[in-house]
Amino acid sequence: MTMNPMELKGALEAIIYAADEPATLDQIANAVGEEKAAVRATLDEMIAAYASEDRGIEIRAVAGGYKFYTKPQHHEVVRRFIKSLRPPLRLTMPALETLAVIAYRQPVTGPEIQEIRGVNVSGVIKTLLEKRLIVTAGRKAVMGRPIMYRSSKEFLMRFGLSDLEELPSLKEFEQLARAALGSDEGIAPIEPEASEMSETVETSGISERPTAADAAIAETMDAAPTAEAVPQESLEISEAAPAEAAHSEESKAESAS
């Protein structure tokens, strides 16, 4: 099958748009029935055209394939739009800190999160699972086989991110959380004496005081890379067991270890 240049561009655009994960050169070439050299040359032309033209999206070569992304200069308006489609979430500071650990260290187990934060996080993990901000990511091949957790597609949508490569620096995460969760309406502080697992209804915003968890997370950031590309399939929301079942399995695994 031979297409003229305009037909080929239209076909490539449609394939990349429809793909849930980066479409590889082999996949695209097989689909359109053209030589890989011709497809690659057309893709290069399209990438240059989208980058130079006054458009809100662009094509990027990532993870061995090609995918559409929103341009960085439009991220803020996209975040506002996505936020308007969803009711604001209410997270306690312990939940937000735990979410940050998972986002920057994923996949990570409950015991590893607990070691970083220095407190019991089983209740907070249950809350994040229920709000679909995180999902289970299998079991780690160590004694006890604890459950691992990663951020979900809902997390990316809530924070207006195309993928994990767009995660901000840890210092900027608080500001991003304000924008994504609704500032005073979305993030509720917890008093030092309050229980880690307690639910709070007061909404006075994020504290400016550094926490022990902040320092612990920062240390882990120095020890490991933080925004590595993750295959798109790893971002799909699991349709498996409900949050309660996942929490129960984690508890059993921690007991066994």
Q: What is the pLDDT of residue 211?
A: 43
User: Which of 74, 78, 48 is closest to 61 using CA atoms?
Assistant: 48
Q: State pTM to two decimals.
A: 0.47
Write the burial class of residue 132 (CB in 10 Å: 0-12 exposed, 13-18 middle, 19+ buried).
middle
Q: What is the pLDDT of residue 20?
A: 85
Query: Which stretches of the chain score pLDDT less than 50?
Result: 183-217, 219-248, 252-253, 256-257
- 227 Cβ partners below 8 Å, 6+ apart? 164, 165, 166, 167
Q: What is the pLDDT of residue 59?
A: 93
DSSP 73: G
Q: How many residues does the chain have?
A: 257
Average pLDDT, the chain: 74
Q: What is the pLDDT of residue 78?
A: 83
Backbone conformation region of residue 69, classed left if phi is above 0, alpha if psi is from -120 to 50, else beta: beta
Q: Output b/e per residue, 172-193; b: 16+ Cβ within 10 A.
A: ebbebbeebbbeeebbbbbeee
CA distances from 4 to 8, 30, 32, 38, 135 (A): 6, 17, 12, 11, 45
Could you give all domains of the chain from N- to C-terminal order, each with its CATH number? 5-70 (1.10.10.10), 79-256 (1.10.10.10)
Q: What is the pLDDT of residue 176?
A: 67
Summarised one tens digit per residue, pLDDT across range 208-252 is: 334 444 444 454 444 444 333 334 333 333 334 444 444 445 554
Distance of CA 76 to the CA centre of its chain: 17
Residue 18 to residue 156: CA distance in whole angstroms: 19
DSSP 45: H
User: Which of 65, 93, 53, 85 is closest to 160 using CA atoms?
Assistant: 85
User: Is 150:107 a contact under the CB 8 Å cutoff?
Assistant: yes
